[in-house]
Chain A
Amino acid sequence: MLLNGIHIENTYAEAFDMKATRLIVTADTPAWARHAGMAATGFATSVIACGCEAGIERELTPEETPDGRPGVSLLFFATGRSVLGKQVETRLGQCILTCPGTACFSGVPRGSKEDLIPMGQKLRYFGDGQQMSKLVGGRRYWRIPVMDGEFLCEESSWSVPAVGGGNLLILADARMAALEAAEAAADAMRTVPNVVLPFPGGVVRSGSKVGAKYKGMPASTNDAYCPTLRGLPRSRLPAEVESVLEIVIDGLTAADVAAATTAGLKCLIERGRGSGVWGVTAGNYGGKLGRHHFHLHELLP
């Protein structure tokens, strides 16, 4: 299919069931909330080696946060509840507790005991006996004395079902054209609520396939989309494509991932062939690994 000069391949992105949680981090200024959010969601691009995928969902105004200070909302995605709990615990302890002036709250509705993600429940021991808990409006908060005052942290959060691994591949004439298109598409996709783009700037240049010729490598380069290999028989790239970038989408529901995919497609199609983008496709594994399929032709704006 050709839209505004851009080839939209008739394929689909394959995404997986994940577990996610949302944390609200507040601080004295938006900048310090951002610092905490950036650190806590750092090194969280892919579950292949990071343990979880995470990102800043959006910035929050003081009116939107529980303690009336500026904040950020963070989304964390992992393959299961226990991995997610461990990741949240270490990131909370090393990146949010340590950041000046922060407080941390759960950003999801109260769930069942099986879905519990410990926050203050584990972190309170840092208080070495001087911590205090307060039950306010049915939710328990821990107050941990720290050198700049007190760290306020909700006792726990809860995991919710989520979808991870939605994606778009942008095929462009040149590297800068691919980069600019990916940047614009990522900006458009970030406006969709309940999703994060976990890679740096939302963009991946080293898309991967499952497996490798070497033992012990769970994933390796997606050679079918590497332009330097486009003469090989298994290449999927036409001669004019010189650069490919991917945008990976994690969302709380399949509808959120679909909405982000549509927002990305809309942006790319509106920019048109003149922007240097040859086409858009998506990555999948033959449909056998992931339950969620996002067909590009069904998600056109």
Chain B
Amino acid sequence: MRKLLLGATVALAAMAGGSVPGRAQTLTMAVGAPVTSLDPHYHQLSPNNAVSDMVFDKLVNTDAQSRNVPGLATEWRVVGPTTWEFKLRPGVRFHNGNPFTAEDVAFTIARLPNVPNSPASYAVYARPITRVEVVDPLTVRFHTAQPYPLLPLDMTNVRILDKETHENATTDDFNAVRAAVGTGPYRVVSYRNGDRIEFARNDEYWGPKPAYQRVNYRMITNDASRTAALLAGDVDFIDQVPTTDLTKLRTDNRVALSETVGLRLIFLGLDHLRGPNENSPFITDNDGKPLGRNPLRDVRVRRALSMAVDRQAIVERLMEGAATPAGQFLPPGVTGHVPDVQPTRYDPEGAKRLLAEAGYPNGFRIQLNGPNDRYINDGRIIQAIGQTWTRIGVRTAVEGQTWSVFVGRAARQDFSAHLIGWGSNPDGSHPLRNILATVNAEKGWGASNRGRYSNPEVDRLLEASLTELDEEKRQKLVLDAERIAAEDVAVIPIHIQTNIWAMRRGIRHDARNDELSRAQDVRPAGP
């Protein structure tokens, strides 16, 4: 076996050493998640967004750390309590030569809710907008029903189409490539569903010119195969590097890695639905009999369980360092991070004391559920948590299921404790609104609040923040709400994943915290 691996290293050396002329012009990328459509408004999905980013532009683009930067709009400002004005970039043309104007923006917003059969549509970004006003060809105004501070953030998700080209374009037209026409840095040459997409550089691009003339964008969903393809020299660049291969790749100076702390939190959702005197479905006393109460409604129990998670060990041993222990939804460095909330320290003795205080000196039994094929090492993480929980007297059975089964049950609140992840945008309002707010269909709150956490104070602060146009005041409201939820242990945060890409040496990549793998972020390393 050792010999085999030695051989692998030798092959890699040969591959990195001999650079083939002409190859420098073509970049072969392999991504781990399949792209489902070339229609940029069809399916809200990271792989689709990455490809859309190569072909299309947004009014507001984001940099590698998800900060808003000018895209097809050069500047934007509030011109009235319910009106945003965007100044558009002059001289921009679509791949087919059509000029980009304010009419195209109005058309795009109108199209968002009207993509037939979309399983996860972009309509949410159009809904706050009551009217799009075309002031002149390079100025557009968005009118909203209420003051809406998040509009520029929403615009970072909306890829702009050409009214003339796309007036009657269907998703099929995009997938057949003929309608895949944007203003972005790359043109689509061919698309083979589930296999590969070929791109050619748009030499007329308004922004920085991408380094590679042609891009071969392949989908290799099997982790080991993707790494092997890189090691064998079949591809130049891979994303979603499996953590199991990290130790080897890190010490291999023929492969370069690029990494950054991501925006995806792995956390445990807890059962807040059952009242303090009801039975939670997977909690019993030590003899397996019903407990008659839901210990998870006691903040001391929740805190004890959080203290009994050895985040450092999970990050070091299971994630191979590719994660950061977390105490809240967002990592340091983005706007939604609360500076004074720290990750909970591993303290089994303290946890036992808290449990005793809460009336469970001998603990209880619980089942921890989770997916085992969705997040990085998810099945391994729940087992590790099961180990340390059992040591404080909370005897834990662990059940990992496939995502398709798991997520349906989680949505029905079938579980007492479950592991799940949340890929956030950098604003704290995002997790607050979707996970921590009390479920309210009218307001569209708590749609992913699978534990049914509810705290009026959090709701009040969130409500206020959603219409606060003064950015500084809004941030304070958001951070306060986040802090309250963290102190209340609404969920148990575990860690925030690090996004990692690997490439052959001689290539550089700007790692993005939104996980998108885009060709314009890759270039040959300078001498």
Please say whether chains A and B are actual partners in one complex: no
Chain B residues at the A interface, C-beta cutoff of 8 Å: none
